């Protein structure tokens, strides 16, 4: 039995249980909100409109985190208070919209808008929180959260509507409080008074800073595409054949299987074969839709949840290996996934109308999506881009991006050298950020400073930033003047960079 070691320590076990509870309520909130705002017999186009507003507001938060990370970082639990209050109000307004039938549609859209913003913010918080644990503990907590979420949903879905709405409005609060308390317990290792809580961990996540360069996005790009492809198929079928109860059952079944596998086998082996199981499961689900839409959707959602699980573990692996914040990476991956989900929902509306008007048979939809899935699997790597061995993946990627400049300096097995070099570059970038703040450099001057510190020539910098070489020289002169230096050698001394 591979019981995670952190559960054997009382303080750590309590912290992880808080994380488990918080992540469970986070997942449950999404399912229940869709459930309480749904109306029996509601048109597919109305359902689509509500979900697309929810997705777009969620996506807006992801875009904001990617391009304006300076305003969102460091992430603090307390910073979610404005969106949290709006989300609670949004759930209540949307849930009780039937009181004002003339404005019900508008009230539901308002609820979806504000809930999407808070759900996006909590996604960033949870991505960051899980990044502070290793992949084994993250996987164990996530798999148990799937089970708890499924059981809780099935237990309350037949409760009175008013009770469901009130419970749904409380779930984001419970998730946020559990996240905060879990981080406190894990950072202290026991009781709150045992030792001084580090202020940055207590209030948020400022120990690790965001990755400054674009190289890391190359490591997770294919994983984002794979998650998006599975999400597209799920969204398209969900709007036509989906039954929320069966989807959540699929999530619970997946959670039980993952929990048993993590207890019985090593986490590395479980994670390695999960994607290879998810592929045929998704295909089987599509094939079963004409015969039994409920069983088909159960398998499809379980497969989609599997790749989301692998996405979380990939981000966790990256965060721990490089000791960085993955706020930008989390936003980029889930933002891309939301775009493809929205595209899938749009396809689902069209297909649903065709099915309703008897212009198309369900087996045609199933076959078309099955061909799409098989095509993607054929062109993608065998592991879908998910990172099971970061050293090997980074070595391969680093070798490819530097092949033109240094074709023979790095062999495919020199994984530790690749990791070390990427970490060195990132350390230099972080140092440049500190220096830029000390000498009041502009954002463009900071970018040029980073490029110069990486050894890029003026011509390379000009080509990279799409500016003239003379403009680059002007920026460099301004940097030197502000720093009181006159050469690259002096710059290296200021940055404490060695060849």
pLDDT of 111-132, one tens digit each? 888 888 888 888 888 887 777 7
Q: Which residue has the higher pLDDT, 219 or 374?
A: 374
Q: 208 near 289, Cβ under 8 Å?
A: no
Q: For residue 170, is pLDDT > 90? A: yes
Q: Which residue has the higher pLDDT, 421 or 191?
A: 421
CA 493, CA 138: separation in Å to the nearest integer? 41
End-to-end alpha carbon distance in the chain: 48
Q: For residue 240, is pLDDT > 70? A: yes
What's the whole-number mean pLDDT along residues 173-187? 80
The phi and psi torsions of 57 (rounded to 5 degrees) equal: -70, -35
Q: What pLDDT does 465 receive?
A: 75
* pLDDT tens column, 417-437: 455 555 556 666 767 777 887
Instruction: Using pLDDT thresholds of 50, 70 and 90, give the confidence band for residue 41.
Output: low
Q: Is 191 helix (H, G, I), strand (E, B) or coil?
A: coil
What is the pLDDT of the chain when averaged over all its residues? 77
What's the whole-number mean pLDDT along residues 458-467? 81
* pLDDT tens column, 348-366: 778 777 776 676 677 888 8
Instruction: Using pLDDT thresholds of 50, 70 and 90, give the confidence band for residue 67.
Output: confident
Q: For residue 414, is pLDDT > 60? A: no
Q: For residue 68, is pLDDT > 80? A: no
Instruction: Using pLDDT thresholds of 50, 70 and 90, give the confidence band for residue 6.
Output: very low
Q: For residue 192, is pLDDT > 70? A: no
Taking Cα atoms as reference points, which of 396, 360, 361 lies closest to residue 381? 396
Q: What pLDDT does 399 receive?
A: 53
Q: Which residue has the higher pLDDT, 57 or 39?
A: 57
Q: What pLDDT does 214 receive?
A: 57
Percent of the chain predicted with pLDDT > 70: 75
Q: Is 56 helix (H, G, I), strand (E, B) or coil?
A: helix
Q: What pLDDT does 442 receive?
A: 85
Q: 122 near 80, Cβ under 8 Å?
A: yes
Instruction: Using pLDDT thresholds of 50, 70 and 90, give the confidence band for residue 24.
Output: very high
Q: What pLDDT does 45 receive?
A: 63
CA 445, CA 458: separation in Å to the nearest integer? 13
Q: For residue 203, is pLDDT > 50? A: no
CA 459, CA 473: separation in Å to the nearest integer? 10
* pLDDT tens column, 79-101: 778 888 888 998 998 888 888 88
Q: What pLDDT does 50 receive?
A: 77
Q: What pLDDT does 273 receive?
A: 83
Q: Give the predicted TM-score (pTM) of the model.
A: 0.74
* pLDDT tens column, 295-334: 888 898 899 999 989 888 888 877 777 667 777 788 888 8
CA 206, CA 204: separation in Å to the nearest integer? 6
HEC string for 373-384 = HHHHHHHCCCCC
Q: What pLDDT does 416 receive?
A: 46
Instruction: Using pLDDT thresholds of 50, 70 and 90, give the confidence band for residue 171.
Output: very high
Q: Is 205 helix (H, G, I), strand (E, B) or coil?
A: strand
């Amino acid at each position: 039995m591979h019981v995670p070691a952190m559960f054997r320590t009382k303080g750590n076990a309590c912290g992880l249980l808080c994380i488990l509870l918080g992540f469970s309520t986070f997942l449950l909130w999404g399912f229940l909100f869709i459930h309480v705002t749904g109306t029996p017999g509601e048109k597919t186009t109305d359902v689509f409109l509500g979900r697309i507003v929810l997705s777009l507001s969620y996506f807006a938060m992801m875009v904001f985190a990617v391009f304006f990370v300076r305003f969102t970082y460091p992430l603090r639990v307390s910073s979610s208070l404005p969106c949290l209050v709006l989300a609670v109000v949004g759930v209540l307004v949307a849930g009780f919209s039937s009181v004002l039938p003339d404005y019900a549609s508008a009230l539901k859209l308002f609820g979806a808008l504000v809930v999407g913003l808070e759900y996006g913010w909590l996604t960033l918080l949870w991505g960051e929180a899980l990044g502070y644990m290793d992949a084994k503990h993250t996987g164990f907590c996530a798999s148990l959260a799937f089970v708890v979420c499924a059981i809780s949903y099935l237990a309350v879905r037949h409760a009175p509507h008013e009770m469901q709405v009130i419970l749904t409005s409380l779930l984001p609060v419970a998730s946020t409080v559990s996240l905060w308390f879990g981080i406190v317990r894990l950072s202290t290792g026991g009781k709150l008074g045992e030792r001084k809580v580090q202020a940055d961990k207590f209030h948020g996540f400022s120990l690790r800073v965001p990755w400054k360069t674009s190289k890391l996005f190359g490591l997770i790009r294919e994983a984002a595409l794979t998650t998006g492809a599975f999400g597209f198929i799920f969204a398209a079928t969900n709007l036509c054949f989906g039954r929320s109860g069966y989807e959540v059952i699929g999530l619970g079944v997946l959670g039980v299987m993952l929990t048993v596998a993590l207890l019985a086998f090593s986490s590395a082996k479980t994670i390695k074969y999960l994607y290879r199981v998810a592929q045929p499961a998704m295909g089987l689900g599509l094939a079963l839709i004409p015969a039994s839409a409920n069983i088909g959707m159960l398998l499809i959602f379980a497969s989609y949840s599997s790749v989301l699980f692998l996405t979380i573990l990939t981000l966790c692996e990256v965060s721990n290996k490089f000791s960085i914040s993955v706020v930008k990476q989390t936003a980029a991956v889930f933002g891309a996934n939301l775009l493809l989900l929205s595209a899938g929902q749009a396809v689902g509306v069209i297909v649903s109308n065709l099915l309703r008007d008897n212009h198309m048979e369900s087996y045609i939809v199933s076959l078309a999506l099955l061909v799409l899935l098989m095509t993607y699997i054929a062109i993608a790597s065998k592991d879908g881009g998910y990172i099971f061995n970061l050293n090997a993946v980074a070595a391969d990627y680093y070798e490819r991006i530097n092949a033109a400049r240094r074709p023979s300096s790095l062999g495919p097995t020199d994984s530790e050298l690749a990791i070390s070099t990427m970490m060195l570059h990132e350390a230099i970038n972080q140092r440049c950020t500190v220096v830029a703040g000390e000498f009041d450099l502009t954002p463009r001057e900071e970018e040029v400073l980073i490029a110069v510190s990486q050894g890029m020539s003026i011509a390379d910098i000009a080509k990279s930033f799409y500016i003239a070489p003379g403009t680059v020289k002007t920026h460099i002169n301004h940097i030197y003047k502000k720093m009181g230096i006159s050469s690259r050698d002096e710059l290296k001394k200021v940055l404490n960079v060695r060849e």
